[in-house]
Structure 1
């Protein structure tokens, strides 16, 4: 599993330039350009196109390497109820609230669908 914070921005290109100046390099990019991944040693920083109140928000996400149904079963066994698995343009995602009520996103990517 890789940690992947998602940084929401109104200007993905400027954010990409900023984090490249910090030393990260561009990885996968969506065809429309509204999603950029910047791999790091401990995971990936993702930048997602946003507007309104979402601009500036950061969400904790993880890239999983197993079926989301398996993760959901473990969460339920531990007393946490995940949301439904969503079929996305990039693979599948699911969200669950941590003990403080903060949403955490889990993603199973099919990178050939968006890069």
Structure 2
């Protein structure tokens, strides 16, 4: 796995429903909490984290998507941010491992979890995702230059798109007509190389071909 993995975080009232939706696309659960309020869904590249909004300690609202990451070494990443001129950086220990928080573009608080082998309270799944799928979240176009600089620090400057606000988006080499057929139970709209889907949270998810 790469040193740093992009991992948009979705707060949801329906973790099971969102998990089933992402599994239908081709992602697979990697780590999930035994209590059921958290699941990391892995794609061929990138992840999507699902977090029960009811359990959020940061006030995350159902359907809200924010940007987060997972990294092998957050101390090294802290040095990279400091060298790039970021000053509002903190590292601390949580029950599930170490966390780095940095203030990103537009004052966004970005959380980066350090990869840990301590799975107390969590369950590891080893099923492989569909390698044709990549997580390529949309970020705020009003801060595009700043976001590109931020992503360059973590080495992921090519894995994002820009538009109005933060949104869950994916890219696949799979035929979009086949994806749409698989999602017959969801509201979808196919236009050229873009498939729009309404997910179980009622939010728009865009898949790029």
TM bucket (normalised to shorter chain) is: 0.7 to 0.9
Q: Is the 8 A contact 1:82 1:94 kept in 2?
A: no
What aligned pairs does 1:13-92 form with structure 2 within 5 A after superposition? Answer: 13-51=16-54, 54-66=61-73, 68-92=74-98
Q: Which residue of 2 aligns with 1:6?
A: 9
Structure 1 spans left out of the alignment, 5+ residues: none
Which string of whole-angstrom CA distances, capped at 9 and with x for unpartnered residues, describes residues 10-34 of structure 1?
Answer: 1111111111122222221111111
Which one has a bigger Cα radius of gyration? Answer: 2
Larger displacement relative to structure 2 (55-64 or 75-84): 75-84
Structure 2 spans left out of the alignment, 5+ residues: 124-209
- TM-score, scaled to structure 2: 0.50
What aligned pairs does 1:95-114 form with structure 2 within 5 A after superposition? Answer: 95-111=101-117, 112-113=119-120, 114=122
| Runs of 4+ more than 4 Å apart | none
Question: How many angstroms apart in 1 are the aligned matches of 2:103 and 2:50?
Answer: 22
- TM-score, scaled to structure 1: 0.85
Cα deviation, residue 3, structure 1: 0.8
Aligned-pair RMSD on alpha carbons?
1.8
